[in-house]
Structure 1
Amino acid sequence: MSQTPPPELASLRQSIDNIDAALVHLLAERFKFTQQVGVLKAATGLPASDPDREAVQVARLRALAEQSHLDPAFAEKFLNFIVAEVIHHHESIATGSVATRASEVDES
């Protein structure tokens, strides 16, 4: 027998859905800038990865996570996932094997 969920559950879920939508939009904006970085790196012969910058970003994000009462290890995993994707895009841009917009995906 299933119980009827309390009305506030729908409200909480709507708030979560709104935040998820905002995260997707923010990630899209972030990738627009990282694509531009990839084009600039390719044009100037810079490597796709910048370990020094990545280390600074990890430390910064971990500190922000702690301040926000979010598990810093989770924040680091999240950033590492994003950075790995960015590096992949930068490598693809450098070799000319991908479009320069993150929003362009293969629809097949």
Structure 2
Amino acid sequence: MPNESATEQAAPEDLWRLRRSLDNIDTALVAMLAERFRVTRAVGQLKARHRLDAVDVAREEAKVARLREAATRAGLDEDFAEEFIRRVMAEVVRQHREIAQKG
């Protein structure tokens, strides 16, 4: 492969197989996020149409608690999972506010 370091060129095939798998997973994660945001934009449009607040704090906190539990079951660090979902939710709220302003 072009532009590979000597170390990368010498890497065993198992490493390349794992890296290809990670690349596929990363692509799937991006696709899942894109789909999630397509759905949340529809939610934002519905909220704007019915003049509902962009933020539902109780729902957000329940979601965080659920995802922390899911992270534990999956062997994922709970704090990382919470940080990730809070970042996603912050983007959703930003989008909902933008949709509401456009009316």
TM-score by length of 2: 0.90
Partner of 2:45: 39
Segments of structure 2 that go 5 or more residues without pairing to the other structure are 1-5
Question: What is the count of residue pairs matched by the alignment?
Answer: 97
For residues 56-95 of structure 1, give each alpha carbon's deviation from its aligned partner in whole angstroms, at most 9, with x where no partner exists: 1000100000000000100000000000000000000000
Q: Which residue among 71, 88, 91 is the counterpart of 2:97?
A: 91
Amino acid corresponding to residue 53 of structure 1 in structure 2: R
RMSD: 1.4
Which of the two has higher C-alpha Rg?
A: 2
1:64 aligns with 2:103: no
For structure 1, the residue ranges without an aligned partner over 5 or more in a row are: 98-108
Determine helix, strand or coil for the equivalent of 2:53. Answer: coil
Over 4 Å off, 4+ runs: none
2:52 counterpart SS class: coil
Query: Identity over aligned residues, as a percent?
Result: 48
